[in-house]
Structure 1
């Protein structure tokens, strides 16, 4: 899975995560600077089997609408979160503190967890520290009415420079993807640690 981090606005970094392989995906980056900042032995996306992990999501609120239906209703986003024609998420972008990006890799917080939830098998792809992923204050959106892919998110007030500017304007922070669609989100791709860091 390609997870990139590169300069954005002055003093900030832009992160991008390609959730699915497409014909436009490039091979794993050969110019990434990640091994200059993270021990190569830690650069991985672990695959974990934990049948009980899904029970954490039972305590998290399920939103009424799909991810797209709730957009501009219950949340907004910093940049874009791309979806396909059916509503399944393909890519998302957000501002990224460089040290957070590096630490998420060092702590192997990006991982794929095979678990059970709602009476069926799912894979959970985590994009944050575990305590952020399973925070009961999060919310869950289904991607489509098929209810086979879900987004776990934290909704936080809009901030500028660390100060809350718009308390009623909630922005989505992507924490995890819950998927029963290995055809859309192949496990081999999700577990490929393609961390593309560019500081130039």
Structure 2
């Protein structure tokens, strides 16, 4: 899974689906190796059937994500959806100071869960206790309700931050892709001393 962070621009992008763009990125072009052994980076896959109960304790919105944007909450930047409404990628505020602890604490995890009498995968994009905060809201991406996002909405700004992807669509969000991290850190504060 490709996760980019341009420290100068303080922006990042999470590619939830594989596409042609992801092929042009390689770890050799990333500053992440200045901080971590790139061979040790992983997105663990964990079976946690009890997570479904935590999700059931959260509010499930009746509107789809697309319907809720600019009505129930605002986007920090913009999140790309395909024609059907499935999320392809997330544009977010992301600096080196935000990304590095997420990587260090393996906030990016893939869980196999049972929820709503079906099998789902949950990709967390933050610490799981923040993802499972009962104040967060789950929005379906489409009326099929086979993919959802967990949103934390700031009560003051009404800006929604995507905390997790919940999906039963392994065809759109392949497990092999989601488990293979490619952290592209550009313009790191440590990179200026490199030759």
Same fold (TM over 0.5): yes
Aligned residues: 187
Determine whether 1:187 maps to 2:184. Answer: no
The SS at the match of 2:170 is coil
- 1:4 aligned partner: 4
The 5-angstrom pairing of residues 52-131 of structure 1 reads: 52-131=50-129
Residues 42 and 108 of structure 1 are in contact (CA less than 8 Å); yes or no, is this contact kept in structure 2?
no
C-alpha distance in 1 between matches for 2:79 and 2:177? 19
Between 169-178 and 179-188, the greater mean CA deviation after superposition: 169-178
The SS at the match of 1:68 is helix
Q: Over aligned residues, Cα RMSD in angstroms? A: 1.5
Point out the structure with the larger strand share.
1
C-alpha distance in 1 between matches for 2:94 and 2:21? 24
C-alpha distance in 2 between matches for 1:8 and 1:180? 36
The SS at the match of 1:65 is coil
The SS at the match of 1:178 is strand
- 1:14 aligned partner: 11
Query: Which stretches in structure 2 are left out of the alignment for 5+ residues?
Result: 189-195
TM-score, with length taken from structure 2: 0.91
The 5-angstrom pairing of residues 25-44 of structure 1 reads: 25-29=22-26, 30-40=28-38, 42-44=40-42
Query: Which stretches in structure 1 are left out of the alignment for 5+ residues?
Result: 158-166
Aligned-residue offset at 1:100: 2.1
Aligned-residue offset at 1:26: 1.8
- 1:160 aligned partner: none
Determine whether 1:199 maps to 2:187. Answer: yes
Aligned-residue offset at 1:27: 4.8
C-alpha distance in 1 between matches for 2:174 and 2:52? 19
Point out the structure with the larger helix share.
2
- Counterpart among 25, 46, 49 of residue 47 in structure 2: 49
